[in-house]
Structure 1
Amino acid sequence: MAKIQSVQQLTTVAMSYVLDMEEKIAEAAPKWAEAASDPDLKQLFGKTATKSKEYAQRVEQAFGKLGSQVERNDNHVTAAMLHEVDGMIQNTDAGPIRDSALIVAANQQQLFRVASYGSIESYAKVIGKQDAVSEIKASLEDSKGGDQKFTELAESKINQQAAEAGQQMANA
């Protein structure tokens, strides 16, 4: 990668990492849905795959609005997070404990999205590319909502179910 010398370049580099992130998540989310036991969680992971594809399209559109070629850079942070999710799946039995672990992973990914999209939105504003900001802002707001949905599901039932399952295992 060439040395970054402007906020315009920084914006496109950040978007290239986000595009790779979304493609990786779109590929991984169906595995998460399959690993989940709770039907609501399965459904949320199904939506995650669809949303990631939608976000990737938005990023590609934002590249065009910035007058830049679409680029992809391997997002090592996302790759590491996905590796950790695979480990959680392998190291837990199907059930509420795994579901709770999957929600933690989903929340981490959502917050990484929020940070990434928030930074890109800020860069786009600074360089006066308000039309590109609308694409990024839509994904930013969706990601905030996604984080909230996973949290609500955890707090409304899954974490309690996981605690009860852990207690039953301890008593067995």
Structure 2
Amino acid sequence: MATEKTLDDLFLDTLKDIYYAERQIVKTLPKMAKAATSPELKAGFEQHLEETEGHVERLEQIFELLGKPARGKTCDAILGIIEEGKSIIEEFKGTVALDAGLVSAAQAVEHYEIARYGTLKTWATQLGHKDIAALLDATLQEEVATDKKLSQVATANVNQKAA
């Protein structure tokens, strides 16, 4: 008979998932910045790289608060989203549509992170981890802000250039 799994188990499993995802994003953002032709988009990717490094540190702090080692668990979802981004870079390199495609790929990453951090924050609150919920909320707010910035870059600049 299988061992009963609890919300604590699911919470830790999902933390490992997003920890892995954030570390993959740290590796990918420099490639996206290099590929971007819009100076504003390039700067946005570089700024988000710094924020993402902070997200990794926050997650490590959360693992420490839980008394657990900071270990990732392969996140197939983020690997697929990153692979889509690589395909956009390869297929649209040198075209006017590249930056619009990069924004699209970056927003797919942001939306995944927003979903994960929103869920984790809710679970942390449910489990009575107020300090952890506050850390997760800080990251969630940064992810939402990045998504909004990406939308602004798209509508004010790169989408018109691509059209």
TM-score range, shorter chain: over 0.9
Query: Which segments of structure 1 move beyond 4 Å, counting only runs of 4 or more?
Result: none
Which residue does the alignment assign to 2:35? 35
Residues 70-116 of structure 1 show CA distances to partners (whole Å, capped at 9, x for unaligned) of: 22101111111111111000001335310000000111111110000
Q: What secondary structure is seen at the aligned counterpart in 1 of 2:63?
A: helix
TM-score by length of 2: 0.95
Which residue does the alignment assign to 1:61? 61
CA contact (8 A) 1:37 1:96 kept: no
Letter in 2 for 1:55: H
TM-score by length of 1: 0.90
Greater gyration radius:
1
Deviation at 1:149, TM superposition (A): 0.2
Structure 1: stretches of 5+ with no match in the other structure:
164-172
Deviation at 1:134, TM superposition (A): 1.1
Moved more, 47-56 or 37-46: 47-56
Residues 11-47 of structure 1 show CA distances to partners (whole Å, capped at 9, x for unaligned) of: 1111101001110000010000010000000001111
* Residues matched between the structures, number: 162
Q: What secondary structure is seen at the aligned counterpart in 2 of 1:111?
A: helix
Structure 2: stretches of 5+ with no match in the other structure:
none
Deviation at 1:6, TM superposition (A): 1.1
Distance 2:109 2:98 in 1: 17
List aligned pairs for 1:119-138, cutoff 5 A. Answer: 119-138=119-138
Distance 1:118 1:4 in 2: 25
List aligned pairs for 1:16-165, cutoff 5 A. Answer: 16-163=16-163
CA contact (8 A) 1:125 1:133 kept: yes
Q: What secondary structure is seen at the aligned counterpart in 2 of 1:63?
A: helix
Which residue does the alignment assign to 1:170? none
Identity of aligned residues (%): 25
Q: What secondary structure is seen at the aligned counterpart in 2 of 1:96?
A: coil
Distance 1:101 1:4 in 2: 43
Q: What secondary structure is seen at the aligned counterpart in 2 of 1:68?
A: coil
- Alignment RMSD: 1.4
Distance 1:3 1:83 in 2: 35
